[in-house]
Amino acid sequence: MRRRTMLIALAAATLLPAGAPAGQTGFSFPSIDGGTIRLDAFAGRPVLVVNTASRCGYVDQLDDLQALYDRYRDRGLAVIAVPSNDFRQEFATNEQVAQFCAVNFAIDLPMTEITSVRGRDAHPFYDWLRREHGFVPQWNFNKVLLDGRGRPVATWGASVRPTSAAVTAAVEALL
């Protein structure tokens, strides 16, 4: 029954190509709080990576990202917010982003510095997603779910909330 639930939930997601290369966990991002967020630190755990923007109409999804993280972090889920100005809806500095998210959303999930997610300046993680899996964020709040081996298993667009049944079913299937 669990497998059937996952398949139904993933039907609403964009599935990435079968037979894709093994997952990647060697990527790292500069943390907005200093230091580095290394994907290999989450080996064996599912990771939801979401490109965010503080001035986007979907910004209230930051509450949902935090709620998803709070609900599943003790079971192993990692959620990483990747602020990006690729769609011209992010503040100019990392300090502004960090302050906005702390004051308005009380975010304590890992957050990167402002990062390009598409085009020739895309972060290597997003360039890998494009080259190896055909995924490029089409807007802010696109979501990528990685399994415990760093393999992308599903993506969702901006209109799919992080706490939606589709996302939570896919997360639960990996926990």
Would you name the residues annotated as active-site residues?
Answer: 56
CA dist., res. 150 & res. 47, Å (int):
8
CA dist., res. 166 & res. 168, Å (int):
6
CA dist., res. 157 & res. 169, Å (int):
16
3-state helix, strand, coil in the chain (%, to 5): 35, 20, 45
DSSP assignment letter at 101: H
Q: Name the residue type at position 28.
A: S
Of 93, 77, 74, residue with least CA distance to 85: 93
Cβ neighbours of residue 57 under 8 Å, at least 6 residues apart? none
Other Cβ atoms within 10 Å of 80 Cβ, number: 24
